[in-house]
Structure 1
Amino acid sequence: MLLSVSRVVRAVRQQHCIRTALPVLTLFTKDPCPLCDEAKEALEPYKHRFELQEVDITRPENSVWLDRYQYDIPVFHLNGQFLMMHRVNTALLERRLDKATGAAQQ
């Protein structure tokens, strides 16, 4: 199980490096998910600062994420690392985006 998770993390990081200079914000979700919809609305002012990827935890290939997050969505990872769950913490998101893009050092 851990091997599968690390493969997903590596794949997300590789996609990030190849496709975009923006950090990748991964949303672990399912349909329906009203809290996920609220979270996506809260992300709107920041959407130019990251690439959003959604992972439907109910799909068979995502069973490891269903086992891990079925009672906690929405869950967010930034560049393959856990960031936050349940609600969007905008202060945390801003700090981590700044760190990911090097803006904090400028």
Structure 2
Amino acid sequence: MFLLRQPAALQPAISRLLSTLPTLTLFTKDPCPLCDEAKEELEPFKHRFALQQVDISLPENRVWFDRYRWDIPVFHLNGQFVMKHRVDVVLLDKLLKDCKTQKT
């Protein structure tokens, strides 16, 4: 899970690194206790993906609010739905391994 603030000189290297990692999108809002729990469960995997968080309560994310308002947290991996409500660590580990295998 990379949420970085680095000097401008490092940006190209960081961009290359992040582009090689799968993107895990977390659909969330504030407050969301289940989302907070989910983020904690993601910690052991954080070096294996780039995390993108989408706040469904923002006006520009209305389509996601309409789709997921009762189901957050919801997770997409590289744009594909993978799970909701809770982190399935076994499934996540398998999917991340599959992503790594496909890259090599």
TM-score after normalising by structure 2? 0.80
Percentage of pairs with the same residue:
64
| Structure 1 position 67 matched with structure 2 position 66 | yes
| Structure 1 position 36 matched with structure 2 position 27 | no
Shift of 1:19: 4.8
CA RMSD of aligned residues (A): 2.2
For residues 52 and 60 of structure 1, the distance between their equivalents in structure 2, rounded to whole angstroms, comes to: 21
Cα–Cα, structure 1 residues 82 and 41, in superposed 2: closer, same or farther, change >3 Å?
same
Partner of 2:81: 82
CA displacement 1:66-93 (0-9 Å, x = unmatched): 0000000000000000010000000000
Q: What pairs up with 1:1-106 in 2 under 5 angstroms?
A: 19-102=18-101
SS in 1 for 2:20: coil
Cα–Cα, structure 1 residues 65 and 20, in superposed 2: closer, same or farther, change >3 Å?
same
4+ aligned runs moved over 6 Å, structure 1? none
TM-score after normalising by structure 1? 0.79
Cα–Cα, structure 1 residues 46 and 37, in superposed 2: closer, same or farther, change >3 Å?
same
CA displacement 1:3-44 (0-9 Å, x = unmatched): xxxxxxxxxxxxx99951000000000001110000000000
Unpaired runs of at least 5, structure 2: 1-14
SS in 2 for 1:102: helix
| Paired residues of 2:35 and 2:72 also in contact (CA < 8 A) | yes
Cα–Cα, structure 1 residues 88 and 79, in superposed 2: closer, same or farther, change >3 Å?
same
Q: 1:49 is matched by which residue type in structure 2?
A: R
Give the length in aligned residue pairs. 90
